[in-house]
Chain A
Amino acid sequence: MRSASETEVTPDQRSGSVLDVRALSVEYITDAGSVLAVDNVSFSLDPGEFVAVVGESGCGKSTMLFAVAQLLAPPAEVTGGTVMFKGRNLVGLTDKSLTAIRWKDLSVVMQSAMNALNPVKTIAAQFKDAMRAHGVTSSAEIANRSAEVLKMVGIDPEHLKSYPHQLSGGMRQRSMIAMAMLFTPELVIMDEPTSALDVVAQRSLMVQIKELQEQFGFAVVFVTHDMSLVSHFSDRLIVMYAGQVAEVGPTRTLFDSPRHPYTDGLMDAFPSIRGPKVPLSGIPGSPPNLARRTDGCWFAPRCPKVFDRCHTERPELYYVDGIQARCFLYDGSTS
């Protein structure tokens, strides 16, 4: 088992990938000092792959996602790393240069459609906006495509005339996904699109997304705090903690044998509806305050397998059986 430094090219970071994030770091810079919200995150995505990013609230997953899409707003700033998308580094590009890529090649679906859709414009108007921004001027073409994408997600095109507040929660989320499909981009980034829905609607939405993915072959980065949701739908899983990648690998492998103690704890916290009845266990303690950087592993205070070294040194990502885990248990030095 060898350790992998984040900047080396490893089997996990291939060329030919649709998205290649390397050593991405994001800081929140305020008068009171700066907080490292995303710490040296690297991963890559093949065309058509579905990668889920999971973690507790505040672990930095949404920030990381917006950093990838170049949608951060002050006081958040990208302070390091690159985001290679189709051969170009998105970091540092001006808004004008990004316009060509935005929505055509890379689209975004957000958490709450009630907040993500402009409340004073109809659905049709918001679709039209996106299309006109990319040179589609014929109103016939706009109308046709709008109706087409709505039908793709199972909504009657009648609702093009509606305002967001007039649709149900599930319909709103699906219209957001329809909007993301307008140009059938190569990569769709989703930030907890199901969190605002009830469990039945959640599953139906996930199925819809998977169907669209199979039909059009786009890659998906899907952020959520709900492990059970992504277990069936994602190819690979990234577990984040305190702004760092804690564990990354194929979903099935991670579920069957999680390596990092944090991932282990997460798995235990979500009961399986079919398995034997086991007592629910959570992870004691609470997420760390990122403003107070300490020595040692971020997870050490809550880790059931902690030992001395964990408090003094910071672990890197180490390889073990086809996955990477940020834990000294796997750095090859302990037997």
Chain B
Amino acid sequence: MRGSRLILGAIFLLGASDPWVDASTQDLHGYVRALSLDLRGNVPTAAELEEVEEAAEVTESLLESWLYSEEFEEQVIAQHREMFWNELEVNLLPKRKLSKRDGIYFNNNRSRYTRDVAHSHCGDFEADVDEMNRPLSWLTNDDGSISEGYVIVSPYWDPDNPIEVCALDAQLNLVSDTGVDCTTYAGYEEPTCGCGPDLKWCLDGGTETLIEQALSKDLTERVRAMLQSDGSYADLLSSSTMYLNGASAHFFRYLTPYDDEVYERPVPLEDLPELDFADETWTPVTLGSEHDGVLTAPGWLLRHQTNRGRANRFYGAFLCNEFIVPETGVGALSGTEAPTPNLIRRPGCLGCHARLEPWAAYWGRWTEAAMIYRPQESYPAFSEDCYDCATTGVGCTDFCEDYYLVETSHTDQRPYLGWYMTYAFLLDGKEENPDLGPLGWVETAQSDGSLDECATRNTARWLLNWEEDESVIEEWVSELGDSFSYRDLVRRLVTSPEYWAGVP
């Protein structure tokens, strides 16, 4: 291997002023085909192949045109999907979801409130309603349910194709008869709350998928933006710009209030773009300073729903590392006594969790199975009030019970009474990790070079289909310098002797 590099190096020294140009003549056709497939996902056109043959080289201008093509962006995005795993399949808002029976849309989950019997339907007849779609008459069925009939609605997701919707689910009231706001979670059990104008406060299976795709694609649009700006690759992990299309804008504008324990608007309502649901153009919005690039994007937080999961994915994707079970095994979760919840102290677990726990804590202020940020100002690391109620036997507030450690199930938890839950078991300076956020870890990885090294290694694996040895990786990283752009990295690799020298 080393000998081959010397030979190739010799070719460089002997050959020419521009090594990769001369070297590409080694197997010009194989090189240009591989280059085109890797950079653009397609073979060269006949015209491009003729151009290369005539020039007897892949010219710099041709290479640059490929590196700046939309197709290249898609290839880089494809590579990053393999890192992000950004494909959401979560049940976004089951309580707002419309299903279909006999061709008529209705909210099956709310039937017990709207029609008095669970899973009951409105019946296949046109409803008699007022201007707010409130039924003026209905049938009473043997099981005690009512059937009010359907109305025709132009849904926000396809306004040109009206659909039949059970009238009670198509109600337009902003406020219920009992004074409850129909645009919030509180309206769920209110029979006089519905899906609102154009059904905008509800979703069906198709719209749910489109919203999930939009949240997923936000991550890859950030990759595209990183490429288009030719900025530093590390911007991916620090930028505070999010990309919304019509589906995600609608979700944040109208639907997130229905589960404010799981979802929140990433920007204030007035800053959300006004887009039709079907509008697929991407609009950037600027997020708050608590955000750390893709690592706190809704698409990341909802895909990797626990802090350990978020840390584990970052560790694997961006630092090229994995946790494995030691040869001695984990050991069974056994015994008659409760095991310690502090995984750093549990035999068999500490090997991995000694590092994973503090790393997971970087996401400590981001809620799990959700995308909500809980700031220090409102959720201090330690609460005297919560500590007091935990230690004096006085009843704790819901706030303390929900977010702070006020009750122990194991003695190991006692030193952390009164602490915000994700601070539990953190020691030795790691208590600052939740407030640093994932950027704290990113900056450490940047300063020790592991981020750059992994990016280079990942890209080498993509383009060369192998792992290069440490010294070559270090050489490339050193050549590229700080704050290299991803395009620079790719360019360096595809013009390397290892790439153009062709397959054995």
**Interaction A to B:** no
